[in-house]
Structure 1
Amino acid sequence: MPSVALLLLAALSGALTILAAPWAWALPPLAWVCKPLTTALLIAWAARRGHGDPMRRPLLLGLALSWVGDVALLWPQQGFLPGLVSFLAAHLAYGVALWRGGARPWWPAIALYGAVALGVLQHLWPGIAPALQGPVVAYVLALAGMAALAAARWWRQRSAGAAGPAWGAAGGALFMLSDATLAVDRFAAPVPMASLWILASYWCAQACIASALPPRAAR
């Protein structure tokens, strides 16, 4: 199947997941099939990229761990902690991929994403159950670190003119946006049309991170 077709199918499956969310009680098979299917299609698309690139294996591992997290979160209560751990591991894998791709600490990005992470945690802290506080802090640190590395990689390689680092940086920023929205909706106050904003930005983030790998033609 052509790579463009995989992306189009992923977009269609993601749209069906978002549309089904308000009526999940009436259409459970649609949401349960389409949500993991969307990430699986993105994995299949990403697997065609970056052959021989040192980023490829850890990045694909991160996508696979994200798929595990998606499945876990089909059970919003029982699956929240396993999903959180899966996505934490995914961000660590993405961090390894970015490091192999040339990312190194860049203090402006660390300061920016550190401030965002601290602000989000401060806002959400009163609503986070004590048993979840440690895992949530670890997750936020892993996410902010991944986003900072993605931004650093773009900054270091911006003069080369390659699109991959810019896509990766956009993916890190979108992941922060998606998870901040999810956290506010869960721990602070309901967000209007939460499924639209969370899932759309989440899958766009995954697609952007996968785009950090060079396409097959660029081998």
Structure 2
Amino acid sequence: MTMTTAASAVPRPPAWPWLAAAALSGALAIAAALLGHWPLLAVAKPLTTILIIAGAWQRGGLPRRRAAILAGLVLSLVGDVALLWPKEGFLIGLVAFLLAHLAYLVAFTASTRLAAKPLAFAAYAVVAGLLLWQLWPGVPGALRLPVVVYVVALASMAAQATCWALAEPDGPARSAAIGGALFVASDATLAFNKFAAPFALAPLAILLTYWSAQALIALALPPRGR
């Protein structure tokens, strides 16, 4: 038996323990955000995304897709840390998540061409347009162009995930499509809370949909060996 064969025969732990740990850490982060306990939030928020990254690392799939999803998760971690300071870190977080969505877009084109299902892009274009229309009056002038670019990237990522799911309905793509939709919901809630109408339970809605989205995107990678 060669060293390569022996290494491949070593069983790898499943992703679910890491994702279960991420759920617990995420619950602590949400509680910390609701209670205004910044030290706990500063630990639990990035830890949750790190645990999702660990779960994704255990999984396989097409090398291009796996590398791009892992890159998107790491960039999201950068955004998580930046947004611990909502004012000072907002633009850094926006750029980090913009790059994360572009990485996911690359992942979702690994086996399905871009905009393979035009109706999916048309539907998300309507969603993006409505979102910008509602937010526009409250977005500061200096942030308007970055916000537009971000919303276009976000909607394109979610639309391409849907294209992948429609093209390969029997695979893990449905997980990515639901994750993309939840990411849109999370960011829309965050934007409304920041630019339009702040509300007390915003951290619950934002973080619950955000980590659900990230976990589902990670689970779009099949277990190793499949």
> What band does the TM-score fall into relative to the shorter chain?
over 0.9
**For residue 21 of structure 2, what is the amino acid of its counterpart?**
L
| 1:202 counterpart = 2:202 | no
Distance between the aligned counterparts of 2:144 and 2:110, measured in 1?
31
Partner of 2:33: 21
1:192 deviates by 4.1
Distance between the aligned counterparts of 1:140 and 1:73, measured in 2?
17
Tell me if structure 2 keeps the 8 A contact 1:181–1:191.
Answer: no
> Which consecutive aligned stretches of 4+ in structure 1 deviate over 3 angstroms post-superposition?
none
**For residue 188 of structure 1, what is the amino acid of its counterpart?**
A
Partner of 1:212: 220
1:175 deviates by 0.3
Partner of 1:69: 79
Cα distance 1:88–1:80, how it changes in 2: closer, same or farther (>3 A)?
A: same
SS at match of 1:214: coil
**For residue 83 of structure 2, what is the amino acid of its counterpart?**
L
Q: Percent identity?
A: 53
Tell me if structure 1 keeps the 8 A contact 2:60–2:225.
Answer: no
1:7 deviates by 1.1
| 1:189 counterpart = 2:197 | yes
Partner of 1:130: 141
What does 1:128-167 align with in structure 2 at a 5 Å threshold? 128-158=139-169, 161-162=170-171, 164-167=172-175
Partner of 1:180: 188
What per-residue deviation string (whole Å, max 9, x for no partner) do you get for residues 48-77 of structure 1? 111553301011000000000000000000
Partner of 1:38: 48
Cα distance 1:168–1:51, how it changes in 2: closer, same or farther (>3 A)?
A: closer
Tell me if structure 2 keeps the 8 A contact 1:104–1:153.
Answer: no
| 1:121 counterpart = 2:129 | no
Distance between the aligned counterparts of 2:18 and 2:139, measured in 1?
38
Distance between the aligned counterparts of 2:162 and 2:61, measured in 1?
23
1:101 deviates by 3.2
Cα distance 1:87–1:129, how it changes in 2: closer, same or farther (>3 A)?
A: same
**For residue 111 of structure 1, what is the amino acid of its counterpart?**
A
Moved more, 9-18 or 207-216: 207-216
Structure 1 vs Structure 2 CA RMSD = 1.2
Distance between the aligned counterparts of 1:133 and 1:52, measured in 2?
36
What per-residue deviation string (whole Å, max 9, x for no partner) do you get for residues 90-134 of structure 1? 000000111113243121111110000000000000000000001
Moved more, 188-197 or 115-124: 188-197
Partner of 1:85: 95
Distance between the aligned counterparts of 2:156 and 2:183, measured in 1?
12
Distance between the aligned counterparts of 1:2 and 1:212, measured in 2?
14
Distance between the aligned counterparts of 1:36 and 1:124, measured in 2?
28
1:207 deviates by 0.6
Under a length normalisation based on structure 1, what TM-score does the superposition of the two structures give? Answer: 0.94
Structure 1: gaps (5+ residues): none
Q: May I ask how many residue pairs the two structures share in their alignment?
A: 213
